[in-house]
Amino acid sequence: MPKGSDLLVAALENEGVDRIFGVPGEENLDLLESLRTSRIELVLTRHEQAAAFMAATHGRLTGRPGVCLATLGPGALNFSTGAAYAHLGAMPMILITGQKPVMNAKQARFQIVDIVASMKPLTKLTRQIISAASIPATVRDAFRVATDERPGPVHLELPEDVAAAEFEDASVIPIHSLEHPVAHGAALDRAADAILAARRPLVMIGAAGNRPSLVEALSAFMTRTRLCFFNTQMGKGAVTGCSGLYVGTAALSEGDYVHEAVERADLIIAIGHDTIEKPPFLMKIAGGPKVIHIGYQSATVEEVYHPDIEVIGDIGASVEALGARLDGKLSVDEGMLELRQQILARVNDRAEEDRFPPTPQRIVHDVRKVMPDDGIVSLDNGMYKIWFARNYRTQVANTLLLDNALATMGAGLPSAMMAAMLYPERRVMAICGDGGFMMNSQELETAVRLGLNLVVVILNDSAYGMIRWKQAVDGFRDFGMSFGNPDFVRYAEAYGARGSRVGAVEDLVPTLEAAFADGGVHLVDVPIDYSENTRVLVDELRNRRPGVECA
């Protein structure tokens, strides 16, 4: 007779799950046995946090929840950061954890933590599965909740005795397709009128504009309207093509060159802005451009974001309907195109400077050179994220993965591993600081074991560079930011990966090319000169405009 864990696996198969990432414990053994004979692949990681980052990235890249598995107490708690990453980043994911039996307590309170409660602020929904009979409905509901806008993580706790309980009916609830509700015609008319009345409209693409299902509709809208656009950090790479209309990425909240376009605009059409991101511009109550919010959900009203018009509903359907209302009625904004040239030229300043260690601008430039249009770059969190957000140009949607929501260190490598598993035919590169890399570097073993093709760049400044920079900008003395590093080449080799070190600026491109040509997991240690942080992001921008807020 099937048992609870068989039913859970059948329900996961029913949802189309093909992989589960995780670290099992004693409390997962029934589930593990049910997985062993299923179509689902178990991908072991070396830390639960990495499993959760991988599952979240699966959700982010495919729109279908990634699934991860851990034991009770300590294993489940290691999921916390991954859950928060998916929750803030709106990535659909299912976290499954074990628990001691609920009907007896033969181990007293050993290892017991109230994980359902601990997951409350970190997930959209957290539930203990209380009986085998409830599994089909619980799993169906979990996937719906995880996938519905705004997507996010759902936690299910499976106690040992529920996993082992026999149950004669193994049927699962069939899936049906669902469309998002569409915006009201009156809201679309109001937005179209405002765009037609505006003299200098500008589009901003935010995090929710970057859902995988939106690529076609959004790219078509940009091509059809020929409106110039900028994006938030997490809205970067939401459209394919349209690069002639791209004005820049708002890596800072104000004062950067891209903000000249914001200041010039009299209307901003914010597509999918999620205020979980660091503000891409600061909206004022009086003065400044008016804002139309196009979202799956109403705008959250913030001090710095309080749109004047809202179009709520499926973003894809909204931009299609808006495009039809605007068709042939918009004229090209030559002034904006001219400003665009100036902004991009200034952002690209010194991209080919040949000093050694290389500058962040040069590293961005050289990485772009070795990455084909469809190559995927996955960033960890550190100072270089601002430079990549600002300077890296994307041509194809979802080719720059960065986290401007939880902005946690440690996700860059697992996230790149997920991309490499999903798209084995594309070049994938993780870019990490020496601090962030070491927070999940044990996953090199997983990457090697899985036979992934992956280049991991470590930007080496022997410090928590971003915080060190902020410390200096805020006038504090240099303190508590430096550390030593292992020999990264030998470190890679110890895992059965390859390693190289860049010793001259002209070696960067050939070293990266050789690493890709080599195949497998290849770690590249790149020293970085961070003096540009202050020269550009403080001094240069401050001269452009006083009172610049630093990143």
**Chain residues in the site for ligand TPP (CB under 6 A):** 381-384, 407-410, 433-436, 459, 461, 463-467
Q: How far is the CB of 402 from ligand TPP (least distance, A)?
A: 12
Rounded to the nearest 10°, the torsion over CA 255, 261, 263, 268 is -120
Question: Would you say 31 or 405 has its CB closer to ligand TPP?
Answer: 405
Residues 431-460, interacting with Mg ion (CB under 5 A)? 433-435
Exactly one of 260, 461, 525, 532 binds Mg ion (CB under 5 A); which one? 461
With CB under 5 to 8 Å by kind, the binding choice for 187 among Mg ion, ligand TPP, none is none
Alpha-carbon distance 81 to 405, whole Å?
Answer: 12
Distances (CA, A) of 72 to 81, 120, 291, 475: 16, 16, 46, 45
Structure tokens at 345: 């030229």
Of the pair 69, 383, the CB lying nearest ligand TPP is at 383
Whether the bond into 121 is cis, omega within 30 of 0: no
Sequence-distant (6+) residues with CB within 8 A of 510 are none
**Which residues, 474 to 503, sit near Mg ion by CB under 5 A?**
none
Closer to Mg ion by CB, 209 or 465: give it: 465
- Stretches 393-401, 413-421, 463-471, 504-512: which one binds Mg ion (CB under 5 A)? 463-471
Query: Nearest approach, Cβ of 433 to ligand TPP (angstroms)?
Result: 2
- Does the footprint of Mg ion cover residue 6 (CB under 5 A)? no
Rounded Cα gap, residues 411 and 436, in angstroms = 8
Minimum CB–partner distance for residue 434 and Mg ion (Å): 4
For strand 376-379 and strand 309-312, is the pairing parallel, antiparallel, or unpaired? Answer: unpaired
Residue (229 or 437) nearer to ligand TPP, CB? 437
Smallest gap from residue 51 Cβ to ligand TPP (A): 16
Beta carbon of residue 402, minimum distance to Mg ion (angstroms, whole number): 16
The residues, any chain, with a CB within 8 Å of residue 293's CB and separated by 6 or more, are 270, 273, 299, 307, 309, 310, 311
408 binds, among Mg ion, ligand TPP, none (CB under 5 to 8 A by kind): ligand TPP
CA dist., res. 409 & res. 441, Å (int): 12
Alpha helices for 396-464 (secondary structure H): 412-422, 434-437, 443-449
Q: Which CB, 6 or 380, lies closer to ligand TPP?
A: 380
Residue 383 interacting entry, from Mg ion, ligand TPP, none, C-beta within 5 to 8 Å by type: ligand TPP
Q: Are 278 and 404 in contact (CB under 8 A)?
A: yes
Choice between 65 and 410, CB closer to ligand TPP: 410
Ramachandran area for residue 237 (φ above 0: left; ψ -120 to 50: alpha; else beta): left
3-state secondary structure of 262: helix
What is the smallest separation between the CB atom of 120 and Mg ion, expressed in angstroms? 34
For the bound state, the minimum distance from the C-beta of residue 227 to ligand TPP, rounded and expressed in Å, comes to 34
Pick the closer one to ligand TPP by CB: 248 or 382: 382
Radius of gyration of the chain (CA): 24
Measured from the CB atom, is 312 or 524 closer to ligand TPP? 524
For the bound state, the minimum distance from the C-beta of residue 409 to ligand TPP, rounded and expressed in Å, comes to: 4
Asked if 465 interacts with Mg ion (CB under 5 A), we say yes
* Cα distances (angstroms) measured from residue 154 to each of 57, 145, 234, 422, 478: 15, 7, 22, 22, 42
Q: Which of residues 257 and 464 has its CB atom nearest to ligand TPP in the complex? A: 464
Q: What share of the chain is helix, strand, coil (3-state, %, to 5)?
A: 40, 15, 40
Residue 413 in tokens: 């490598």
Stretch 406-435 residues interacting with Mg ion (CB under 5 A): 433-435
**Residue 240 touches which of ligand TPP, Mg ion, none (CB < 5 to 8 A by kind)?**
none
Q: What minimum distance in Å lies between the beta carbon of 164 and ligand TPP?
A: 37
Interface with Mg ion (CB under 5 A): 433-435, 461, 465
